[in-house]
Amino acid sequence: MDIFPEATNAEETLDPPDWADVGALSHRILDDAIAYLEDVRNRPVWREMPAEVRAFFGAPLPRSPAPAADVYDDVARNVMPYPMGNIHPRFWSWYMGSSNFTGALGDFLAAIQGSNLGGGNHAAALMDSQVVNWMKEMVGFPASASGTLVSGGSMANIIGLTVARNVKAGVDVRERGVGAMPKPLRYYASDQVHSCHRKAVEALGLGNQALRRIQTDAGLRIDIAALKAAIAEDREAGFRPACVIGTAGTVNAGAVDDLRALASVAAEEALWFHVDGCIGALIAIAPKNRSLVAGIEQADSIALDPHKWLHAPFEAGCALVRDASQHRNTFAVTPEYLKSTPRGLASGEWLHDYGLQTSRGFRALKIWMALKEHGVEKFGRLIDQNIAQARHLTRLIEAEPALELMAPTTINIVSFRHRLDGASEEKLKAFNTEIMLRLQEEGIAALSDTTVQGRHCLRVAIANHRTRRDDLDLLVAEMLRLGREIAATATLM
Ligand SMILES: *Cc1c(COP(=O)(O)O)cnc(C)c1O
């Protein structure tokens, strides 16, 4: 006799009625994905979406089911053909990595296993800690340091700057808040510092004015004498100098602050030394260029970005803190429902005690699989390769009278512009912007633009394992062609 008649087949689930159908569709998706990457070089870097594609995303909330194959067809038709473009060999906009297939498999498997990396006693948690340990080793941090995988560099910087605030506050800032601090804190960074630090000091309750931007030298590195003067001035004025942020690879022009000099200033002045290494921390694994970031191993905290030069699929950032107890003391809170047990699933340390998130994704797997497959030495060579490619482009620009280098090339970022005889700065900006937009719209290459030392310029950031030198040769040829075409139509000029 059936005691619970309504509990037999009545419940619903998200699992498919027939796993064999799922297999067929999944194999098709996988085949399409492989073909997609194999063919990436032959597609435009970027293209504008037609009106019907834009309209597709206005569709209302689906209320009733659709076959999974139809759902995939929608994605194949409306999403896959219109990517941002950063997996393409000629994408050099802003600053991001170009992903990799093994990493994508890692993301898939992480979702299949589905573990929550808030912590607990399971294999994914051990792998998460192992990847953090590997990151420490890459930048020369001691094994006793701590760290956490986060969404990206911005979050990793917030982690470091929060630990700095709590250690230097002069009160129990967790309990009493910034209002109870005896003196307002001051942080220091170069005027090239990434915008996420502004958001960080604002969110930390210190205010944007607490982040003093120090002038840079001709190489766009923080001016050490000016830094020392600012610290002295602030002490005199009743502030508490708390933290110096060194940038290993500025987003504007790829400048690398003198990290050794910053480490000594921090030691002399008893400041926290944080390194924003979102771009450049991993140069520490590049055999030909690692001396550029010497001193990074002396930092108190480092932010780095595996979704940049390790090409992890988004998102993957990493914060490292030299003193694990300072790190943990900044974030650890153990509510009743998350108490550890001596054995079983809830034994061991909670990974969420090292940051702001409670639930955390299994980001480690995509990084782990790609590192295992290729080995860290290959990633180091790829970094050297990108830096060599940037030097190649720099030489092409220097040899071409129509082009002008706008900042020294230190690593993999090249700032330059197309000249235009007799044109004002304003016209040069319009002319170069037009070149940049046509390069995008014609699907040739994606560059971005910026302002360096008050002058507008175009910017190529090569954090791309698919770029080849002939892609850069093509870029120069196409820029010259577009320059001629735009100058000839003269609508702008
Ligand atoms: C990219 C970058 C960041 C921000 O990192 P996200 O991963 O985009 O959050 C911070 N600082 C520098 C120098 C960067 O290049």
Task: Please report, for the domain that includes residue 152, its CATH number.
Answer: 3.40.640.10
Distance from the alpha carbon of residue 27 to the mean position of ligand 1, in angstroms: 36
Query: What integer pLDDT is reported at residue 448 of this predicted model?
Result: 96
CB distance 352 to 118 below 8 Å? yes
pTM (2 d.p.): 0.96
Helix (H) or strand (E) holding 211: strand 211-214
For 272, phi then psi, to 5°, come to -70, 140
| Same domain assignment for residues 369 and 395 | no
Task: Please work out whether the CB of residue 366 comes within 6 Å of at least one atom of ligand 1.
Answer: no
Query: Which regions of 12-56 does DSSP assign to beta strands (E)?
Result: none
pLDDT over threshold 70, residue 8 = no
Measuring from atom 2 of ligand 1, which residue has the nearest CA? 278
Q: Regarding predicted confidence, which is higher, 347 or 235?
A: 235
Which numbered atom of ligand 1 lies nearest the CA of 194? 11
| Same domain assignment for residues 255 and 149 | yes
Say which amino acid occupies 365: L
Query: What integer pLDDT is reported at residue 335 of this predicted model?
Result: 75
Task: Please work out whether the CB of residue 279 comes within 6 Å of at least one atom of ligand 1.
Answer: yes
Nearest to 136 by CA among 145, 127, 128: 145
Task: Please report, for the domain that includes residue 473, its CATH number.
Answer: 3.90.1150.170
Query: What integer pLDDT is reported at residue 433 of this predicted model?
Result: 98
Task: Please work out whether the CB of residue 390 comes within 6 Å of at least one atom of ligand 1.
Answer: no
Over residues 86-114, the mean pLDDT reads: 98
Query: What integer pLDDT is reported at residue 337 of this predicted model?
Result: 75
Task: Please work out whether the CB of residue 154 comes within 6 Å of at least one atom of ligand 1.
Answer: yes
**Which one-letter DSSP state was computed for residue 215?**
P
| Same domain assignment for residues 117 and 172 | yes
CB distance 321 to 475 below 8 Å? no
| Same domain assignment for residues 25 and 114 | no
Reported confidence tier of residue 210, pLDDT bands at 50, 70, 90? very high
Helix (H) or strand (E) holding 263: helix 259-269
| Peptide bond connecting 315 to the previous residue in cis, omega within 30 degrees of 0 | yes
Tally of structural domains, the chain: 3
Average pLDDT over all residues of the chain: 96
Reported confidence tier of residue 6, pLDDT bands at 50, 70, 90? low
| Same domain assignment for residues 406 and 262 | no
CA–CA distance, 149 with 315 (Å, rounded to integer):
10
Domain that holds residue 452: 377-489
Query: What integer pLDDT is reported at residue 339 of this predicted model?
Result: 80
CB distance 371 to 103 below 8 Å? no
For 297-317, letters b (16+ CB in 10 Å) and e give bbbbbbbbbbbbbbbbbbbbb
Identify the domain boundary among 375, 401, 423. Answer: 375
Tell me the percentage of the chain whose pLDDT exceeds 90.
93
Query: Which regions of 29-161 does DSSP assign to beta strands (E)?
Result: 146-150
- Inside any domain, residue 4: no
Identify the domain boundary among 375, 399, 426. Answer: 375
CB distance 467 to 389 below 8 Å? yes
Each residue's pLDDT tens digit, 392-409: 999 999 999 999 999 999
Query: What integer pLDDT is reported at residue 3 of this predicted model?
Result: 58
Burial of 476 (0-12, 13-18, 19+ CB in 10 A): middle
What would the two tokens of residue 400 be? 């071409």
Distance from the alpha carbon of residue 475 to the mean position of ligand 1, in angstroms: 25
Tell me the percentage of the chain whose pLDDT exceeds 70.
97
Over residues 55-65, the mean pLDDT reads: 97
CA–CA distance, 273 with 264 (Å, rounded to integer):
9
- Inside any domain, residue 11: no
Helix (H) or strand (E) holding 243: strand 240-247
| Same domain assignment for residues 305 and 395 | no
What would the two tokens of residue 114 be? 């589905």
Question: Can you tell me which residue has the tokens 């971005």?
Answer: 448
- Inside any domain, residue 461: yes
For 184-210, letters b (16+ CB in 10 Å) and e give bbbbbbbbbbbebbeebbeebebeeeb
What would the two tokens of residue 47 be? 């293209």
Query: What integer pLDDT is reported at residue 485 of this predicted model?
Result: 96
Distance from the alpha carbon of residue 343 to the mean position of ligand 1, in angstroms: 39
CA–CA distance, 425 with 265 (Å, rounded to integer):
38
| Same domain assignment for residues 287 and 204 | yes
Identify the domain boundary among 375, 403, 422. Answer: 375
Query: What integer pLDDT is reported at residue 5 of this predicted model?
Result: 54
What would the two tokens of residue 45 be? 């870097």
Over residues 92-110, the mean pLDDT reads: 98
What would the two tokens of residue 258 be? 């003198």
Each residue's pLDDT tens digit, 218-237: 999 999 999 999 999 999 99
| Same domain assignment for residues 194 and 51 | no
- Inside any domain, residue 151: yes
| Same domain assignment for residues 136 and 77 | no
| Same domain assignment for residues 288 and 340 | yes
Residues near 143 by beta carbon (within 8 Å), at least 6 away in sequence: 133, 136
Nearest to 327 by CA among 336, 317, 337, 318: 318
Over residues 144-163, the mean pLDDT reads: 98
| Same domain assignment for residues 217 and 69 | no
- Inside any domain, residue 235: yes
Each residue's pLDDT tens digit, 299-338: 999 999 999 999 999 999 999 999 999 999 999 997 777 7
Reported confidence tier of residue 21, pLDDT bands at 50, 70, 90? confident
What would the two tokens of residue 279 be? 């771009």
Distance from the alpha carbon of residue 189 to the mean position of ligand 1, in angstroms: 15
Distance from the alpha carbon of residue 487 to the mean position of ligand 1, in angstroms: 36
| Same domain assignment for residues 220 and 131 | yes
- Inside any domain, residue 59: yes
Each residue's pLDDT tens digit, 120-149: 999 999 999 999 999 999 999 999 999 999
Task: Please work out whether the CB of residue 253 comes within 6 Å of at least one atom of ligand 1.
Answer: no
- Inside any domain, residue 331: yes
- Inside any domain, residue 89: no
Kind of pairing between the strands at 185-190 and 240-247 = parallel
Task: Report the alpha-carbon angle 437-440-445, nearest 5.
Answer: 125
CA–CA distance, 103 with 110 (Å, rounded to integer):
10
